[in-house]
Structure 1
Amino acid sequence: MVLTKFSELGLNESGPGQVAKTSGGSIIIVGIDFGTTFSGVAYTWSTKGDKVQVITSWDTDNYSSSNEEKTPSALSFIGEGQVNWGYSVPKDADQVKWFKLLLLDEEDLPKEVKTSSRILEARNYLRSHNRTPIEAIAVYLRCLWNHCIQRITESVSKTLVNYSKFHVVMTLPAIWPDYARCRMRVAANLAGILGHRAAGETELTFLSEPEAGAIATFADMEGRQDIKAGDTFVVVDCGGGTADVISYSVTQTDPMVVKESVKGEGGLCGAVFVDEAFVNMLKHKMQPKKWDMLSAETRQRLIHDEWEHGIKQRFDNKSNKTWSFNLPWECLAPKERLTVTSLPKVTFTSKEIEDVFNPVIEKINDLIHRQAVAVKEKYKIYPKYVILVGGFGRCKYLFEKVKAMKDRLLGEEIEVLQARGADPWTAICRGAVLHASASTGIGSIFIQVDARISRASYGVMMLDRWDPRRHKEVDKTWCEVEQVWLAKDQMDWFLREGEDISTKKPIKKSFYLTFSPNDSPTLKTMIYLTTVSPPPHRAESTVKSLCSIKWDMAVDILSLPTRTNSLGKVYHQLNFEIEMTCSGSSIDFAVIYNGKRQGSKNVAVEYSTR
């Protein structure tokens, strides 16, 4: 193919590649589901690839909570270098929650989230303790990681832990921008998760939360007689902060191979927004002055006992009943306490509880409806199942509302499934482990995601051969090396939003650089992304930097092929390839020269955290 473009990167062609698998030695796989409200961890190891263990036995003063499958995503800084976390945070302690959502830039948060009292409280708490969101997440992840290493060691032995390589898979909402993944990697590094180990460097990869939930769900469904090639499923991951919907088509059943059907969607419409709506209604019924009289411990206990483990779990709207509970004495003024004969009570109608749930559930139903319609448009048939996973995915009322929406708008041929017990709650961390165990070949439960749909466009900024029919005059620039007019700031997208991404073959493209004999052979370029569809032809405000690639070449310039421009001036040209590998939520880049992948000693890939 004749090169028609030039810059620090000159695009030539693309071709197939192969992904190298991990091999040799023992390996321990850890899946971390760091959630907005609760976090969970699962693991397996080389000889037990099909046996996924979920971490429990949390440090807590509350015995009933110690063996829960997840622990609260909560922190309380209590002194220099000291912190309580998870269940060990006392109910009356000054603490921070929801800090996962602070990883996003404020402009990427919906208006109702920005102004949420929980978000404002979290920002103020971190500001008062002089902590950034990344630092707070790192502190929490360090506590979580240390606890998990201790539990894994107690289960499999100190020797196995010390002499095994670690592969850590962290899950993230599918709707999150790429910079959030980069910030989470920084937090994981600060937390010590990537610290030096005698067995070798720890591998950290990312997986979208709905895909992890789908893998765990498909693993439970493998071998069922009602699952056949061509069936399509919509997996709905309803968590604390976000809800993501993603659809898969089964291409093979033994072993099960699936591909993403249409581009998934998501939104900040998780359970925390239901909780906040209830607290706001409770404040209104109590009157704000009385609510302010309650201590932090009393508020926490009231919400925990009466809402989270009471009304919220039992509500199903099958009867027009009322919901009541007693308020604590603290909400009464001293004079009132002398005159009343019983504890004050607050009552909610079923209609009022519906009003707490429905705004969030309507957003989730809109996501499901659009996804099912998109599947119908592409495959001429609705998906077979809508499967609810995640902590909020266990909610009975959510199940009823999704089913009612489906019956009203989509028809009875779709079935809504909701697992019971802890399975929906732990699906994300279990699915992360199954994903990695399949890719490393240590497990026989093999759920392969054959292709995904790109949620953004990725490409390079480059100089293009000037064409007045295609380019703007402002972009016209002269190239001294080739003695030609070029167009600057032009975008060349080698992966576009909505395109299928094969997980078997990385995207590999050829480029060139030009050098004068006295130049230093160094490459530094940027990879850019945009979520605008179709992506723009030239760089504009919607195009953001994803990462920089710097290659310190051990190359003798004089040994490179030469070219001659119209003035008879000779220059050297270096040909190489950049390979982009997509796996789950991870996007990785490598430089290939003379058919060999260049090592990390010479190639540095730095991701933007803005």
Structure 2
Amino acid sequence: MSARKPYSGVRALVFGIDVGTTFSGISYSILEPGQVPVIKSITRFPGQQEVGGDSKVPTSIYYDREGIVRAEGADTTLAASVEKAEDEGWEHAQWFKLHLRPDLNNPDIPPLPHRKTATSVLADFLRYLFECAKIYIEETHPSGHALWLSLQHNIHFVWAHPNGWEGKQQNQMRDAAVVAGLIPNSDAGHERLRFVTEGEASLHFCVENGLATETIDRGHGVVIVDAGGGTIDLSTYCMVKKSNGYKEYEEIAPPQCLFQGSIYVTQRARDYVQAHLANSRYDGDVDSIAREFDASAKTTFRGEEFSYIKFGSRNDNNPGLNIRNGQLKIPGHAVKRFFEPSISATVSAVREQCISALSITVSTVLLVGGFAANDYVFSELKSRLEPLRLDLARPDTHVNKAVADGAVSFYIDHHVSVRVARFTYGLTCSEPYNRMNMEHFTRAAKRYKGVSGEWLVPGRFSTILNKGVQVCETTEFRESYHRRTSDRAVLDYFSIELLTYRGRGDPQWVDVDPELYKAVCKVEADTSHLIKVSTRRRGVPNSDFYELRFDVILSFGLTELKAQIAWQENGVEKRGPAQILY
């Protein structure tokens, strides 16, 4: 467990938000100058039936036909809410987080309610979580209402998201936070919301709870597997001791995100039951059987010969369909097949993490998240990872709140100083045509004449950052530009598209395997104030054009991409802002 230092900043309140696919949580810390911060979880939500509350609440909303929220969180599981929903035709929003996922192509994800977007549903649920947190703090702290009033204008948020989420998803999440009223839509408001991957949040949780400290202290790497409802996120770290004795953690492999969480086990079970009961009088019970499997049989399965799912009365009997006394009996080997894709994908991903770990020995895998509580998943992963000389550990503490607590720790402790690029990043550019260059010659039909009069060939990929490279938070990546135009007004604004290359090897031209290139964002900047440093030049033949030289500076080492522009003025470098647009 790390020795947290007393807080030295301005008095504030920070929330760690974990909106999961099936369950969500929110943790917080009141930051008092001179005091050591303590992380606490919100453990009471309306409609909870657990005595003493729970730190997780269903990620679920009911909307009526007018699109008005009628029930949220644990309230959606109450019998009264379910009955009203059926009687009044309410629409159920669940798994809505996955509608943000990059390259969404999964027809099994429940559709969003009518006239709702993923951002608007997220905003409604954020508003609910925030209100629950406000009430909890007011009710559990001495003079809670006065405490809230004194902190409400200096609240910061850290929102965790799957490792596979990128800038576009972060932008949608920020929009949801603005709509929910958590932050104002201003630069200052945006600064109050930070993002962190679920893998990195989980590392902070493990460090703060003293998990795998012996392994890390030996200089070995540790793989954090955050197994949740929708995604399984893998991140690998090692510890570096600084000269002042302070410990920092470096990411040593590109993080991964598998869409193989526990909901996909339930989906496969539902497909099996639907095929098994097709054309029988029980085919209308498929949804209720799937829900019961999700709630009981899936969580208790340990590899037994049979798994039993109760769905009807004792009068429901059909030996041919393995139904007896209102219970459906599913062979254990079939249930194992429901789990197998998730388990095998996780083992393969762990192996890939170890191979990519920059020559550092990885000896431990830590399994956290709601799916980690499944004993069958744990036992299968443990037995399959042992031949790889990997020790799998599952913390006995509250692993289902690892992400929310870890998000707060990310804000307070900031353990990770180095991250690894998941993709190769770069830009397209043109270069002077050289007919002796075979790559140029084969693209001769695409060449064009620039304003300077020289022939140029387009489509060259200029790499800024290679996949797998470690990046410090303070590391800047520069790309120099010289813009040429016959119309000086064109120099007033700059816009360039940032691409990622998702293949292997060293990319050179974007017309080779073009499907492996993906636009990430646009980097834009107002360059009208740079007109004074532009140069008037003579082209070939006798024609004038204007040239402007500047650098685009990108920071990839943060949890969110940042950009600036830089230029020389009277021999001194000056900088200005640049926007990232998704």
The TM-score normalised by the length of structure 2 is 0.82
C-alpha separation in 2, matches of 1:108 and 1:199: 32
Counterpart of 1:14? none
How has the CA–CA distance of structure 1 residues 283 and 430 changed in structure 2, closer, same or farther, with 3 Å as cutoff? Answer: same
C-alpha separation in 2, matches of 1:568 and 1:322: 86
C-alpha separation in 1, matches of 2:177 and 2:394: 32
C-alpha separation in 2, matches of 1:373 and 1:199: 42
Could you tell me which amino acid in structure 2 is paired with residue 251 of structure 1? V
Aligned equivalent of 2:257, options 252, 263, 266: 266
Aligned equivalent of 1:463, options 390, 408, 430: 430
Identity across matched positions, percent: 21
Q: RMSD of aligned C-alpha atoms?
A: 3.4
How has the CA–CA distance of structure 1 residues 351 and 81 changed in structure 2, closer, same or farther, with 3 Å as cutoff? Answer: closer
C-alpha separation in 2, matches of 1:295 and 1:349: 17
Counterpart of 2:88? none
1:489 aligns with 2:459: yes
Counterpart of 1:379? 359
Counterpart of 1:67? 53
Counterpart of 2:205? 216
Could you tell me which amino acid in structure 2 is paired with residue 605 of structure 1? I
How has the CA–CA distance of structure 1 residues 287 and 546 changed in structure 2, closer, same or farther, with 3 Å as cutoff? Answer: closer
Cα shift readout 1:89-119 (whole Å, capped 9, x = no counterpart): 13443513222222236x543xxxx243xx2
SS in 2 for 1:523: strand
Point out where structure 2 has 5 or more consecutive residues left out of the alignment.
1-6, 86-90, 319-323
How has the CA–CA distance of structure 1 residues 95 and 406 changed in structure 2, closer, same or farther, with 3 Å as cutoff? Answer: same
C-alpha separation in 1, matches of 2:118 and 2:506: 31
Counterpart of 1:255? 246
CA contact (8 A) 1:250 1:259 kept: yes
Which region of structure 1 is more displaced relative to structure 2, 482-491 or 178-187? 178-187
Counterpart of 2:448? 477
Aligned equivalent of 1:42, options 6, 24, 27: 27
CA contact (8 A) 2:211 2:395 kept: no
Q: What's the offset of the Cα at 1:556?
A: 6.4
CA contact (8 A) 2:497 2:519 kept: yes
Counterpart of 2:99? 102
Cα shift readout 1:572-604 (whole Å, capped 9, x = no counterpart): 5433332212355421222334544425xxx44
Aligned equivalent of 1:438, options 393, 413, 420: 413
Aligned equivalent of 1:419, options 383, 387, 395: 395
What does residue range 190-229 of structure 1 map to in structure 2 within 5 Å? 190-195=179-184, 202-221=191-210, 224=213, 227-228=216-217
Counterpart of 2:419? 452
Point out where structure 1 has 5 or more consecutive residues left out of the alignment.
1-21, 337-341, 440-446
Counterpart of 2:302? 316
Cα shift readout 1:521-572 (whole Å, capped 9, x = no counterpart): 2222222223223353233433332222332235263454554445565555
C-alpha separation in 1, matches of 2:74 and 2:58: 6
Counterpart of 1:4? none
CA contact (8 A) 1:293 1:331 kept: no
C-alpha separation in 1, matches of 2:203 and 2:216: 14
CA contact (8 A) 1:56 1:67 kept: yes
CA contact (8 A) 2:222 2:236 kept: yes
C-alpha separation in 1, matches of 2:123 and 2:23: 16
Could you tell me which amino acid in structure 2 is paired with residue 102 of structure 1? H
Aligned equivalent of 1:142, options 127, 136, 140: 127
C-alpha separation in 1, matches of 2:308 and 2:96: 32
Counterpart of 1:539? 510
CA contact (8 A) 1:228 1:252 kept: no
Q: What's the offset of the Cα at 1:292?
A: 5.1
CA contact (8 A) 1:85 1:143 kept: yes
Cα shift readout 1:211-246 (whole Å, capped 9, x = no counterpart): 211221122227945542521111111111111222
Aligned equivalent of 1:359, options 325, 334, 341: 341
1:574 aligns with 2:542: no
CA contact (8 A) 1:549 1:604 kept: yes
Counterpart of 1:160? 150
CA contact (8 A) 1:141 1:188 kept: yes
Q: What's the offset of the Cα at 1:425?
A: 1.0
Counterpart of 1:7? none
1:345 aligns with 2:335: no
What does residue range 11-90 of structure 1 map to in structure 2 within 5 Å? 25-47=10-32, 50-60=37-47, 62-64=48-50, 67-80=53-66, 82-83=68-69, 84-89=71-76, 90=81
1:528 aligns with 2:504: no
Q: What's the offset of the Cα at 1:478?
A: 0.9
Which region of structure 1 is more displaced relative to structure 2, 239-248 or 178-187? 178-187
Counterpart of 1:15? none
1:587 aligns with 2:558: no
SS in 1 for 2:183: coil
Q: How many residue pairs end up in the alignment?
A: 539
How has the CA–CA distance of structure 1 residues 438 and 418 changed in structure 2, closer, same or farther, with 3 Å as cutoff? Answer: same
Could you tell me which amino acid in structure 1 is paired with residue 133 of structure 2? C
Q: What's the offset of the Cα at 1:387?
A: 0.6
How has the CA–CA distance of structure 1 residues 489 and 372 changed in structure 2, closer, same or farther, with 3 Å as cutoff? Answer: closer
How has the CA–CA distance of structure 1 residues 262 and 348 changed in structure 2, closer, same or farther, with 3 Å as cutoff? Answer: same
Q: What's the offset of the Cα at 1:271?
A: 0.5
How has the CA–CA distance of structure 1 residues 225 and 292 changed in structure 2, closer, same or farther, with 3 Å as cutoff? Answer: closer
The TM-score normalised by the length of structure 1 is 0.78
How has the CA–CA distance of structure 1 residues 198 and 115 changed in structure 2, closer, same or farther, with 3 Å as cutoff? Answer: closer
SS in 2 for 1:328: coil
How has the CA–CA distance of structure 1 residues 352 and 65 changed in structure 2, closer, same or farther, with 3 Å as cutoff? Answer: farther
SS in 1 for 2:346: helix
How has the CA–CA distance of structure 1 residues 360 and 559 changed in structure 2, closer, same or farther, with 3 Å as cutoff? Answer: closer
